[in-house]
Chain A
């Protein structure tokens, strides 16, 4: 089974600060790490490879320094690494990112499964996994918490829900986004680290993947970030008293103006 894992380099959440002047995330001097959910996706891919054979290829879209997370992924069991990097990709929102990743993955190799973390801890959109599946026209399941079987090219799994889990099946090729409950990621191995040091990472530019210039980076993005700010708590609190019926009555009265 050939698996592609999408990974993103993000600022370490232990060290997140907002620039008080610009209200944007201060990235200078902040250590970068592999997005924690992507680490679980990678671990699951390596486990599937150990069980069923095949290869694990990690793909990251980002600046040249994102190579560090790709090498980290190889140290933890990935076989090949692809960096999708070009100045023209800068400023991409999830719409442009899924387009770019989709184009890149079509170039990488035939695959049976794509694994993504459920979301990145910096943007927190949770849109790239599902968006990518749509771009590649393959089925997807979000929030996978356990893979339970693989029979005749159909993967069965549990999808985490607020109140339990669903048992679902997905025909391959397909895409899953995973939650952290799915596994406990391993630490890098010595042989993995040595391989990671030597491995040459494939690099794809906009031209290499045949991307349409209007669909990538800022021009290809349908959303623009106007302002980033930490929300200020402004709500009011009220204790409703009386019998349950009276409290419901009072609550409805309060909600009515907003309906």
Chain B
């Protein structure tokens, strides 16, 4: 379907598509197999000016909005969700600084993120704090001119690969959610280290590790925004970033449909290509309907969020749930259409099905998203 993109937006799609087709797709199976981080591909994306799409021009970026990053991520998601996740996670790490950081902080970090010189990461989750962010145990205590951080973050995307970490830590335990603050920790800071790389079911070319803070000392001015603002920044960041995860579902679903439909045209059983059987046609048709509906919703949500920064939550959560549940279903059906071939690692759809699962889990599980939507509805119907 035609979404009437501007010439500039079409350029973004064209460049992202070229990188996806020429660079990502030929390498994705090997990177997945070896669990290798795609450093060079991310450099290519940076060189094409796409890494800084959402970063304002005054900080060395392109100055685009949430819709532009969605367009690029749709293509990367079509190629490999792991690589797209590494890209998206750097944006997730940069958003807190862009949203709440001081001018000096933006000047210091954003140009490097835009050019790919340094990657960013977002560190919220802990062993006892996932969906319930109030369980955070990492602490930050002011000692003279330095903050001292102690604690462990878990399952942090881009850990070990990023140089800039946006970290949530408790600065006043008595204040509950209002006692959390965000800090920038650099990879070279004393007392900071990363744990071993986690072994995952999917998105294996992305890096996921623990972050360990052991009397980690950082300068006072690394506090992002004001003390106690941590949760507000976290919520705004996630509202802003979720369409980026939703669109990975769309790109991934599209890739699965492309594989399944191409296969169904070639595969002959009972003397006919299997695409001529209604059982297969209906599966493919359902996949196509769900993908297009998801795409339309994500595009609309991304545009709504860009235009209404104070009313992001519901649109953001709705598109994330819908498009990622779709991706799980569509990739599973693609494996089904391709039968035994689909289950083999020689074909790309088994990886797609493994990769789809994380989309329903990270950046807030789809159950939490439904909570958010439900709470918003509760507020609306007073």
Residues of A bordering B, CB below 8 Å: 186-194, 197
Contact = CB atoms under 8 A, between A and B. Distances in A.
Interface stretch (B8-16, B30-38, B94-102, B254-262): B8-16
Residue picked from A187, A188, A194, A197, most chain B C-beta under 10 Å: A187
Nearest to A188: B15
Contacts of A189: 15, 47-49
A194 B44 CA distance: 18
B44 A190 contact: no
Given A188-B15, A189-B15, A191-B49, 18 more contacts: A186-B47, A187-B15, A187-B18, A187-B19, A187-B22, A188-B18, A189-B47, A190-B11, A190-B48, A190-B50, A190-B53, A190-B62, A192-B49, A193-B11, A193-B14, A194-B8, A194-B11, A197-B7
A186 B19 CA distance: 9
23 contacts: A186-B48, A187-B15, A187-B18, A187-B19, A187-B23, A187-B44, A188-B15, A188-B48, A189-B15, A189-B47, A189-B48, A189-B49, A190-B11, A190-B12, A190-B15, A190-B49, A190-B53, A191-B49, A191-B62, A192-B49, A193-B14, A193-B15, A194-B11
A143 to B, nearest CB: 25
Interface residues of B, number: 17
Contacts of B44: 186-187
Residue picked from B11, B19, B23, B50, most chain A C-beta under 10 Å: B11
Nearest to B7: A197
Contacts of B14: 193
Residue picked from A190, A191, A194, most chain B C-beta under 10 Å: A190
B26 to A, nearest CB: 12
Interface string B42-62: 001001111001000000001
Nearest to A186: B47
Looking at chain B's contact residues, the main secondary structure is: helix
Contacts of A186: 44, 47-48
A104 to B, nearest CB: 30
Contacts, number: 35
Nearest to A196: B11
B179 to A, nearest CB: 42
B9 to A, nearest CB: 11
A192 B49 CA distance: 9
Contacts of B22: 187
Contacts of B48: 186-190
Contacts of B19: 187
B366 to A, nearest CB: 33
Contacts of A190: 11-12, 15, 48-50, 53, 62
Nearest to A197: B7
A192 B15 CA distance: 11
Contacts of B62: 190-191
Contacts of B47: 186-187, 189
Leading 4 A-B pairs by shortest Cβ distance: A190-B49, A189-B49, A193-B11, A189-B48
Contacts of A187: 15, 18-19, 22-23, 44, 47-48
Contacts of A191: 49, 62
A36 to B, nearest CB: 13
A190 B23 CA distance: 17
A91 B11 CA distance: 35
Interface string B100-124: 0000000000000000000000000
B307 to A, nearest CB: 22
A84 B49 CA distance: 31
A197 B50 CA distance: 18
A192 to B, nearest CB: 8
Nearest to A77: B47
A187 B12 CA distance: 12
A197 B8 CA distance: 10
Residue picked from B7, B47, B53, most chain A C-beta under 10 Å: B47
A193 B47 CA distance: 13
A194 B15 CA distance: 12
Contacts of B7: 197
